[in-house]
Structures are given as structure tokens and as C-alpha cells.
């Protein structure tokens, strides 16, 4: 089964664009960094682009005039100094909004160092690296086509500046999106902590946040600093340590309460996480089987 890409471009007479000559040797470093295309455009009323499932991320800076982009019934104005960033695979619809719109744009394939899922969506915000990107772009447009003395060295420097600036712009975009997920993840882990005996899977955890399993894994690493099941294991071992320390429940019951059917697997994991066995941990805490009852069964 093939996927049909829907793309509609309206480019009125009088609009003009300057494209970065990425096929030239001086710009090989940008091709190696997965830059698909880039340029500076002067756009007039009637210009619009719609891509249903684009094959690359978009970073679009407004240099002058005004444009707009649209997402799920919402309209966002694009004025000087704004950055419109949209993930590969996420629908893109933008157009001129006024008598002209000057933009600097980059289409970047979703490959290292620019990997993030389409569920990351889009954002419009104040640009962080516009001046640096524009300086590098103008320099490359000037130096790449010529063979003047020093052109190659200048292109190399401009390429390095452009890559570093885009990496920072996109890193801030990803970090801000991750910050928005912090509260949903906290609520999710609270639910998991209340049902540790359950056999949690990545797909079920992802479903609770209404995202795909691959995107959930990536989000979890960004927000929590670890893989999803590593977080579940951390919660289980924290609860196991609490039960061993505060109750006299036999280790076998502790094992079952935190989701382990095999006492040996539980003991191995507990030792790996805490550096000691369940028995040694309990002895160090001054507890032993029968020294205290579990408050939840009193």
C-alpha cells in the first residue's frame, strides 16, 4: 500500500525566492546534516502552502510583513521575529496575511541530530536564533556560487554557524514541548504507583497519554530521563524498599505486591537497583518478618 502525499502550493506572479544551492560542494556539510532545502522568499497576497504529511521538519522565520499558519481550526499570526516550527509528518498550512511576507525557511529531514516524531506537532513563538540563521544564510547565498579567495573557508564557517543555530532553535522547541508533558507524566506515574501489581506495558502507558508507543518512549526519555519500563521498575523498587523497611511482610508477599511473580527475578532486580538483597536491606533497616504488621490489612 502506497501513501499519497497531498500538497497544494499557490505561488502568485511577483513572488520570488533565493534558494540555497545545496547541490554545490561548499554546502556538502549541510546535506550531511539532513538539510533538504532552504531559502529566503518575498511573498505577495495569495501565496499559500498546504502539506498534509510533509516529509521534513519546517523552521520558518518571518523577516518582514505578515503571514499566518493554521492548526486544527486555530490561526496563528506570523510577524517579524517569530519562528514557526512544525514536525515532519504533521500537517503544515501557511500563507501570506497582508500585502507582503518575507521569510527565511528550512526543511530538514527527521534524521540525527533532528529526530522527533510528528506528535511533537507545531509551535509559533519568538525566535531565538533568527539573526544567526539569517547571517549564515545570506553569507552562503553570497559565497557558495563563487570561486573567490576565501569563499570555501567562509562557507565552512557559515555552515557551522547555521547548523549550531538550528540545533539550538530546535532543542528549545523540543525542550519546551517536553515541559508541557511534565504534569501528564506525573499523573500517569501516580496511577502506576497505585497499581504496581499490574503488568504494565509500554503500549498501555502510551495509550493513557493518547500517543503512539514510539513517541511515548521518546517523550519519557525527554521528560523523565529514562525509558518507560525503567521508570516502572524504579517505582516498584521504591515501594518494595518501603514495605521491607516499614512492614513485616515476608519478601514473597512484597514481591507479589510490586508486580513480580518470580521471587528470584524480584531479588535480582532489587539487588541491581539498590546494591543489596531484600533480606540484607531489611536487616539493615532493623526489620524482620513478623516484627510489624502491614497497616493495610489491620
Query: How confident is the model over 128-186, as pLDDT tens digits?
Result: 999 999 999 999 999 999 878 899 999 999 999 999 999 999 888 877 777 778 889 99
Q: Which CATH class, in words, describes the domain spanning 7-180?
A: mainly beta
Q: What is the pTM of this model?
A: 0.66
Averaged over 256-271, what is the pLDDT? Answer: 94
CA dist 71 and 91 (Å) reads 8
Residue 219 cell numbers, joined? 517523550
Asked whether residue 94 carries a pLDDT value surpassing 90, the answer given is yes
Percent of the chain with pLDDT over 70: 94
- The confidence band for 29, taking pLDDT boundaries of 50, 70 and 90, is very high
Contact between 20 and 137 (Cβ < 8 Å): yes
Percent of the chain with pLDDT over 90: 75
Residue 49, SS3?
A: strand
Residue-wise burial string across 177-209, b where 16 or more C-beta atoms lie within 10 A, e elsewhere: bbeebeeebeebbeebeeebeeebebeebbeeb
Question: Domain 183-297 falls in which CATH fold?
Answer: Arc Repressor Mutant, subunit A (1.10.10)
CA dist 272 and 295 (Å) reads 28
Point out which residues pair with 68 in neighbouring strands: 77, 95
Residue 255 cell numbers, joined? 514481591
pLDDT of residue 298: 29
Contact between 143 and 124 (Cβ < 8 Å): no
Residue 257, SS3?
A: helix
Asked whether residue 14 carries a pLDDT value surpassing 90, the answer given is yes
pLDDT of residue 222: 79
- Identify which of 60, 220, 210 has the alpha carbon closest to the alpha carbon of residue 125: 60
**Where do the structural domains in the chain lie, given as residue ranges?**
7-180, 183-297
- The confidence band for 4, taking pLDDT boundaries of 50, 70 and 90, is low
Distance from the Cα of residue 76 to its chain's centroid: 21
7-180 shares its CATH topology with 183-297: no
Asked whether residue 120 carries a pLDDT value surpassing 80, the answer given is no
Averaged over 270-276, what is the pLDDT? Answer: 92
Amino acid at each position: 500500500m502506497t501513501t499519497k502525499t497531498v500538497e497544494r502550493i499557490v505561488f502568485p506572479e511577483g513572488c520570488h525566492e533565493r534558494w540555497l544551492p545545496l547541490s554545490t560542494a561548499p554546502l556538502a556539510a549541510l546535506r550531511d546534516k539532513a538539510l533538504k532545502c532552504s531559502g529566503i522568499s518575498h511573498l505577495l497576497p495569495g501565496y499559500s502552502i498546504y502539506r498534509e504529511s510533509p516529509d521534513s521538519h519546517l523552521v520558518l522565520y518571518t523577516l518582514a510583513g505578515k503571514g499566518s499558519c493554521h492548526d486544527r481550526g486555530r490561526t496563528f499570526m506570523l510577524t517579524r521575529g517569530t519562528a514557526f516550527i512544525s514536525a515532519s509528518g504533521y500537517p503544515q498550512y501557511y500563507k501570506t496575511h497582508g500585502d507582503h511576507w518575507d521569510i527565511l525557511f528550512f526543511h530538514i529531514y527527521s534524521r540525527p541530530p533532528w529526530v522527533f516524531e510528528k506528535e511533537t506537532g507545531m509551535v509559533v513563538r519568538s525566535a531565538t536564533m533568527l539573526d544567526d540563521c539569517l547571517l549564515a544564510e545570506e553569507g552562503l547565498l553570497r559565497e557558495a556560487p563563487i570561486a573567490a579567495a576565501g569563499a570555501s573557508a567562509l562557507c565552512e564557517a557559515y555552515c557551522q554557524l547555521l547548523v549550531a543555530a538550528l540545533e539550538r532553535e530546535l532543542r528549545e522547541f523540543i525542550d519546551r514541548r517536553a515541559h508541557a508533558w511534565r504534569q501528564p507524566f506525573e499523573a500517569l506515574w501516580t496511577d502506576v504507583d497505585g497499581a504496581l501489581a499490574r503488568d504494565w506495558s509500554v503500549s498501555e502507558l502510551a495509550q493513557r497519554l493518547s500517543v503512539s508507543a514510539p513517541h511515548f518512549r521518546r517523550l519519557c526519555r525527554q521528560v523523565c530521563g529514562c525509558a518507560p519500563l525503567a521508570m516502572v521498575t524504579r517505582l516498584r523498587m521504591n515501594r518494595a524498599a518501603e514495605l521491607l523497611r516499614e512492614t513485616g511482610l515476608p519478601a514473597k508477599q512484597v514481591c507479589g505486591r510490586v508486580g513480580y511473580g518470580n521471587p528470584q527475578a524480584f531479588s535480582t532486580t532489587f539487588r541491581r537497583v539498590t546494591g543489596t538483597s531484600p533480606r540484607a536491606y531489611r536487616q539493615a533497616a532493623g526489620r524482620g518478618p513478623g516484627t510489624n504488621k502491614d497497616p493495610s490489612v489491620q
